[in-house]
Amino acid sequence: MIIILTYIALISGGILVLLLLLSLLSGLDLDLDFDTDAGGGLGAVKGVLTFFSVGAWVVRLVLLTETNPVLAFIVGGAAGAVGVWILSLILKLLLSQQINVNWSPDEAIMEQGTVYLRIPAGGEGIVRVTIKGTKRELKARSEATEDIPTGASVQVDSVAANGVVTVRPA
């Protein structure tokens, strides 16, 4: 019985660690997720693997110290459930640390920036604008009648459909 529990714990634990590493390091999630109101981060496969891995280890340890198999399986089941709960809390914490790094030129409107490449009168240049905490280089056009030199401070007024921003000296 103890050898079977050891194999169950090792195999389910190994598969669980492999799935967790794949999902955390590469973003590959080979799991079945269900929509719940709680918004859990632990899929069905990882939950079952966690339950069997933790539960089998605890049953094995209890059987080594006690002779009552009913008590061992009750304690193992409770430990497996606690293991699933703890792992879901850890994954929720990890997933809550994600940020949205997608951006669009529209987010540059009314932001201050600096000219990176001179903007000639009626022509195009490049400006650097901070969007979501990161400096972005955007093609820029000015409606001013004079050139805007490199390093000048500008403000973004609008964005054209092709992504070129219209700026004015700040």
- The label of the residue with tokens 């403000």 reads 155
* Fold type of domain 105-169: OB fold (Dihydrolipoamide Acetyltransferase, E2P) (2.40.50)
Q: pTM value?
A: 0.54
| Domain assignments of the chain as residue spans, ordered by start | 2-96, 105-169
pLDDT band at 137 (very low <50, low <70, confident <90, very high): very high
How does DSSP assign 101-128, residue by residue? ----GGGGTT-EEEEEE-B-TTSEEEEE
Residues 168 and 158: their CA atoms lie apart, in Å, by: 10
Assess whether pLDDT exceeds 80 at residue 31.
Answer: no
Q: What is the rounded distance in angstroms from the CA atom of residue 44 to the CA atom of residue 39? A: 13
Residue-level pLDDT at 36: 52
Choice among 4-8, 89-93, 156-160 with the minimum mean pLDDT: 89-93
Residues 6+ apart with CB under 8 A from 27: none
Residue 42 has pLDDT above 70, yes or no: no
DSSP conformational letter for 87 = H
